[in-house]
Amino acid sequence: MSYVKVIPCLDTNKGRVVKGTKFVNLRDAGDPVEIAERYNSEGADELVFLDITATNEDRNTTVELAKKTAEKVSMPFTVGGGIRTLEDIQKILDAGADKVSLNSAAVKNPEIIKQASGKFGSGRIVSAIDVKKISAGKWSVLINGGQTDTGVDAVEWAKKAESLGAGEILLTSMDRDGTKDGYDNELLKAVTDAVKIPVTASGGAGKLEHFYEACINGASAVLAASLFHFREITVKEVKDYLKSKNIPVR
């Protein structure tokens, strides 16, 4: 049986956890390692760290954060943001991360997915896809922290990332990010129908029902940030709710 994972996402900026809406108007949410420890004790299945300004500021993701987190938590975690080369990936994995997520670098140079999955294993390579809806049933891929619209079709890009060796997809709706209006389930279903690898739903969770809706639209994992950081809903509440709806969780 495959369990649905519940994953807190820690957007980081200059060594702090931040949260905004549609990637802007950031507010401070605390120390990333302390927050990671809390989620570890609360039963989160995995964590995702995304350095949301690394690519735009042409700055490498801090390896130090991965090291400190690995010392404090036992659950798997993914690091993304500003990762451009196989050497960057090697450093992050060596520091203790279980997976890396590639977004801008992969769109600009799709071969990096193939090279990285060949070297480190597809299970350690996540294709992070930030998207914006452009019309009914059509979404475009955004890069550089959501600031650049590539014009690339999101569903086609997901299929290509899978074919190049990505082990999973982290799918974020920029239209829904931080709004608490619910995940973009039309987008989610379009992508989960198009690929066989696991897809994590991201962007828009605001209440317990939203997590369930994502699951029935194909999500293998459900991700949230501010809801968990500011304790509006806990990881345990999400798991208990999903269990009550006969969705298998750990």
Residues involved in catalysis: 11, 130
Torsion of CA 149, 219, 184, 244, to 10 degrees: -160
Evaluate whether 137 touches 106 at the Cβ level (below 8 Å): no
Residues, the chain, total?
250
Q: Which residues of 160-199 are buried (b: 16+ CB within 10 A; e: fewer)?
A: bbbebbbbbbbbbbbbbbbeeebbbbebbbbbbebbebbb
Q: For residue 120, what are its two tokens? A: 């480190």
Local structure of residue 45 (DSSP, 8 states) = S
Evaluate whether 113 touches 106 at the Cβ level (below 8 Å): yes
**Cα–Cα distance for residue pair 44/115, rounded to 1 Å:** 30
Whether the CA torsion 147, 151, 155, 160 is positive or negative: it is negative
